[in-house]
Amino acid sequence: MKSLYQDLPEVQIAGRKLVGRVLIGLLVLVSALLVATAGLLLVYSTDLPQVEQLEHYRPGAITQLYDSQGRIIGSFALQRRVVASYDDYPPVLRDALISIEDKNFYRHWGINVWRIAGAAYRDLLSGGKMQGASTLTMQLARNLFLSPDRSWHRKIQESLLAIQIERRFTKQQIFTLYANQIYLGHGVYGFEAASQF
C-alpha cells in the first residue's frame, strides 16, 4: 500500500506537516480559551443573586397618612415611587426610552455583543475611559442586584444576570421592572413617580 506522501516532493510534504501542526496548535489554543472562559464564568456565577426573586419583587412604595375624612395629610418614603404596569406607560415613552437606552432591546438576549465590542474598542482608543455598553436588561440587573462599582468582575456578573433575566421574563416584564426601578433624581424612582414630582 502506498503512502499519501510517497509521490510528493519533500517541500510539499514539509508544507503539509507544517499546516497540520498549525491547525493542531490553533485547535489546542481555541480549546484552552473555551475552557478558561467556562472556568471564569463558573467563578463569576457562584455568588450571583437568584433572578427568581424578581417574580415576587415588590418595590418600596410611599406610605400615606390619611385623616378621619380620608384626605392625605402626609407621605413618607425613603424612595418616592409609584408602581405602574406596562400598559400605564404610553407607547411614545416606551419607544423614546428604548431608542435612547437600548435600540436593540427587542432583538437581543440580555447582552448586545456588538455594542460591547464597540465600547471596548472606543475605550482602547480613548485610553481607558469607560464607555457605556449596557443594555436595558443589564442596567436592571445592576440596579436591582449589584453595586455601582465599575469593574470587570461586576460587568461580567451583570451580563450573566441579564441573560438569566431575559430567559425568565418577557420583554414587557423587563421594561416594566426597569421603568419602575430607575432612579430619576431627588429620591424619585420610576417614571410614574417622576411624572408626579
Sign of the alpha-carbon dihedral angle for 39, 42, 44, 47: negative
Better-predicted residue by pLDDT, 74 or 168: 168
Nearest-angstrom CA–CA distance, 146 and 158: 7
Q: Are 64 and 71 in contact (CB under 8 A)?
A: no
CATH number listed for the domain at residues 56-196: 1.10.3810.10
Terminal CA-to-CA distance of the chain, rounded, Å? Answer: 88
pTM: 0.71
Q: What percent of the chain has pLDDT over 90?
A: 31
Residue 148 is predicted with a pLDDT of 79
Nearest-angstrom CA–CA distance, 111 and 130: 17
Spans of all domains in the chain: 1-47, 56-196
78, pLDDT greater than 80 = no
Query: Which set of grid coordinates corresponds to residue 7?
Result: 509521490
State phi, psi for 64 to the nearest 5 degrees: -115, 135
39, pLDDT greater than 80 = no
Q: What is the pLDDT of residues 125-154, one digit of tens each?
A: 877 666 677 899 999 999 888 877 877 778
Residue 108 is predicted with a pLDDT of 92
Residue 129 is predicted with a pLDDT of 64
Residue 193 is predicted with a pLDDT of 84
Nearest-angstrom CA–CA distance, 167 and 175: 14
Better-predicted residue by pLDDT, 19 or 190: 190
Q: What is the pLDDT of residues 2-17, one digit of tens each?
A: 555 555 566 666 667 7
Better-predicted residue by pLDDT, 135 or 37: 135
